[in-house]
Structure 1
């Protein structure tokens, strides 16, 4: 007998102890199947064998009406006794090779995997799928390992590439984080995506499991309809002239729409960021209180998170979730990330909670995120060194983080994971004032807001839609070209007179000046 089709799109793991008051398990199961569940795993940690078999048999009877296979958690004997389609094993359960000998040849076998070695072993043993997690903290089951996090899934998916072993994510997945889970959990090399999500409490604990299942499945389906890549323009259309024309187009959009840019930033440069945002013809809002974030995300067009002083992490986490939910771009500026372990852990928590559209940093900050010691961070500044292969660094980091990466410096490198561009504008006086990089972040957020405004039609598949590479390039060019113009002014005598002149020149930028002065190279 051939194996039944393995559709992991919406994988329901049961948990009778999680049912809401008055809700019958079998009633909840039937409604969940009506909502689109594609695979069911019966998990019974406290039932004795007879009760486990009884629950499994009745579950299989209900699932047959919807042609949905049933797996049994851990127990080979219960699988055989009930006639289930297969089993899901933990790392401390029976080896896959032995389970294969005991079960019928058509039986499906899945296994949990929390690291690359476990995923590789599962693939080599011929597992039909691996359950990767835990993705998020969950109260549905007791965790024996640390939470893997969304960004920890990619290397496991790369290991599975080229095999028939499928992958499903599990652990704390719900409607509010599912797009972040799917978008962020992608192999950085293979660009392989998950085959589905496994859900427990988001459906089982719901008084309306049919609606809960429908909503989750619709989000997975929407994600699959979108391109798995992160590039938003065909590579062949990335030319210096097309990029310049696109930047000028975004400039016009900014001046027409005056986008509102929400900024959670460090207390050293907040005034400069507000002024440069106004100069570029956008409108800044500086707000950090978590309770304000739902309203601000509805009102504003983009979010800049600059954690130079990391005093508002709760607001940063709440804001990111709200802007992701509304598909609005987030620019993340991990100021000084390499300086302390706390900054590194804060950045990890932030990027595992929401999806950035753009990550912007100097070489020291990008190096810390990339995991390279080639360029060291010195407080909030870079050491002045450069990478031997900056193209590889920004491209690989963009692939890994599923976003556009901007590395500023004497030359600026920007990548969306496939194409890489180099910008060569700017003046050395930018390095002599406080907050030049932070102001660049404000400009990038403004241009990304304009890129998002270009595609305002309804769209639910990807977070932060719009040409974010173009937005990033526009923001960097606006500040760097303005710096050249400001430094050439006769009234500029040093850093003290340079800063107000810089704001003036951002304000006075024209499309003609941008087209004439922009130095753009498309490297890959």
Structure 2
């Protein structure tokens, strides 16, 4: 299944158009900074080796901005660099054959100039259409007539709704005219208007601002799921080290879950080696489930060492309200721990937020007090401490102090195994370790992969209760990591307005 894509502003590259005072990669980077939502690398005159080298360099930029990279025509190059997809013309490899080679996880677009070509591309399984040329263009020698605005309208009216971009001679003004007078266009594909621009970033900002008046961008929820898919792949490829100081009940499961998503766990409570580990660490997970005086001191040292090096610190305040000692230590870590993410269960977060919260030992007792109370708890706590706050339960709530998102995934069997919440903290550690540009989305992604895995595990015929579910959960974490596009089918994320 293809990752959800925003086709709004689609850059097609052309190295011959780059201004003298700019570079090819520099123009692409500025375009990404300006809001380009998709990049197609089109370099017709490059041999295979240089094309692959260039594709890797462009891909390094697009991945920084979480933007898909499409390769024009060259399926071999797309495969070599594991690009997000290819774009093929009418004279290139047949669409069906391209799909057989690339599979269904890659994006395939097809250029169409006629209704018949568009209908055939849809029948063959294209993910999107490149419709044009709309007007004459200097970037490509045209073999077919230009469509004009009326031609685009006629073509779109004759086919089922499908993602599409229009291309050919499009600039800011005529693009505005086209979108004003056409229904069903999903984006504009621009070449010279970006690649030849003296200020590519400003050009893209102007284009995208105009496009957004007529073409709605993806919802925040779609954007989060798209991010989660990419973030999952990034954990596996990056294989970050995640240092745990966690409770003795869950050490084995947390380590196995960390391995299942492609990260590397280290479960050390030795104060003497904290600095050495922090120097190579991706994230620090602190869990006070089996808290002691020596453990408390080690946790404080670990938080300080990792904070100095810029590593994210995830704190799981297990049993925060259960005893006076835990209450004191929870407040200490909140005040001086320099936390990145606070992840607790319903009772723990509601207690910290002073919005109720009951526990029996380390387990939650009672509900959330309603969604408004739960959402307010995570938002207010995030604002107060300047961190990401996640509250797990029947519904999970996550906030950065401005926005609140609810995750409706998860199977009831999660509550039947020890340490499932602690496992979530471990996975959030894995995701924040290598997705540092957006800790809110990375936290949601970490929770999503566990909750979706729980649903898939519970539905397996070999699962008959908590024992078999526990093993299946690790399996499904591994399976989703190897096919993260599954999240697009299962994820249930929504924004909560207060």
- TM-score normalised by the shorter chain: which range applies? 0.5 to 0.7
User: What residue in structure 1 maps to residue 351 of structure 2?
Assistant: 368
CA contact (8 A) 2:406 2:495 kept: yes
CA contact (8 A) 1:294 1:322 kept: yes
CA contact (8 A) 2:225 2:488 kept: yes
**Match status 1:294 vs 2:265:** no
Whole-Å Cα distance in 2 between the matches of residues 386 and 372 of structure 1? 9
**Aligned positions of 1:355-504 closer than 5 A:** 355-373=338-356, 375-388=357-370, 389-452=373-436, 466-504=437-475
CA contact (8 A) 1:363 1:387 kept: no
User: What residue in structure 2 maps to residue 8 of structure 1?
Assistant: none
Q: Secondary structure of 1:511's match?
A: coil
Q: CA deviation at 1:350?
A: 2.1
Q: CA deviation at 1:282?
A: 0.4
User: What residue in structure 2 maps to residue 333 of structure 1?
Assistant: 316
Q: CA deviation at 1:363?
A: 1.0
Q: Secondary structure of 1:336's match?
A: coil
CA contact (8 A) 1:394 1:406 kept: yes
Q: With structure 1 as the length reference, what TM-score do the two structures score?
A: 0.51
Q: 1:333 to 1:275 in 2, by over 3 A?
A: same
CA contact (8 A) 1:253 1:450 kept: yes
Q: 1:395 to 1:238 in 2, by over 3 A?
A: farther
Q: Deviations over 1:233-254 (max 9, x none)?
A: xxx9871110011111111111
Whole-Å Cα distance in 2 between the matches of residues 348 and 422 of structure 1? 25
Q: Deviations over 1:77-136 (max 9, x none)?
A: xxxxxxxxxxxxxxxxxxxxxxxxxxxxxxxxxxxxxxxxxxxxxxxxxxxxxxxxxxxx
Whole-Å Cα distance in 2 between the matches of residues 292 and 301 of structure 1? 15
Counterpart selection for 1:276 from 254, 257, 261: 257
Whole-Å Cα distance in 2 between the matches of residues 431 and 298 of structure 1? 36
Q: With structure 2 as the length reference, what TM-score do the two structures score?
A: 0.54
CA contact (8 A) 1:377 1:383 kept: yes
CA contact (8 A) 1:265 1:308 kept: yes
Q: CA deviation at 1:483?
A: 0.3
Q: Secondary structure of 2:485's match?
A: helix
Q: CA deviation at 1:351?
A: 2.4
Q: CA deviation at 1:385?
A: 1.1
**Match status 1:511 vs 2:493:** no
Q: Deviations over 1:265-298 (max 9, x none)?
A: 0000100000000001100001111121111111
Q: Secondary structure of 1:305's match?
A: strand
**Match status 1:320 vs 2:291:** no
Counterpart selection for 1:241 from 216, 219, 222: 222
Q: 1:271 to 1:468 in 2, by over 3 A?
A: same
Whole-Å Cα distance in 2 between the matches of residues 491 and 511 of structure 1? 23
Q: CA deviation at 1:372?
A: 2.8
Residue-pair matches, total: 275
**Aligned positions of 1:37-116 closer than 5 A:** none
User: What residue in structure 1 maps to residue 331 of structure 2?
Assistant: 348
CA RMSD of aligned residues (A): 1.3
Counterpart selection for 1:520 from 480, 488, 493: 493
CA contact (8 A) 2:350 2:368 kept: no
Q: Which runs of 5+ in 2 are unaligned?
A: 1-216
Whole-Å Cα distance in 2 between the matches of residues 350 and 521 of structure 1? 30
Whole-Å Cα distance in 1 between the matches of residues 218 and 334 of structure 2? 30
Whole-Å Cα distance in 2 between the matches of residues 338 and 238 of structure 1? 37
User: What residue in structure 1 maps to residue 114 of structure 2?
Assistant: none
User: What residue in structure 2 maps to residue 199 of structure 1?
Assistant: none
Counterpart selection for 2:247 from 259, 263, 266: 266
Whole-Å Cα distance in 2 between the matches of residues 439 and 354 of structure 1? 21
User: What residue in structure 2 maps to residue 307 of structure 1?
Assistant: 288
**Aligned positions of 1:18-29 closer than 5 A:** none
Q: 1:445 to 1:377 in 2, by over 3 A?
A: same
Q: Deviations over 1:175-219 (max 9, x none)?
A: xxxxxxxxxxxxxxxxxxxxxxxxxxxxxxxxxxxxxxxxxxxxx
Q: Secondary structure of 1:442's match?
A: helix
CA contact (8 A) 1:364 1:378 kept: no
Q: Deviations over 1:442-490 (max 9, x none)?
A: 11111111212xxxxxxxxxxxxx3111111011001100000000011
Q: Secondary structure of 1:385's match?
A: coil
Q: Secondary structure of 1:360's match?
A: strand
Q: Which deviates more, 435-444 or 236-245?
A: 236-245
User: What residue in structure 2 maps to residue 20 of structure 1?
Assistant: none
Q: Deviations over 1:51-88 (max 9, x none)?
A: xxxxxxxxxxxxxxxxxxxxxxxxxxxxxxxxxxxxxx
Q: CA deviation at 1:354?
A: 2.0
Q: CA deviation at 1:263?
A: 0.4
Whole-Å Cα distance in 1 between the matches of residues 282 and 329 of structure 2? 25
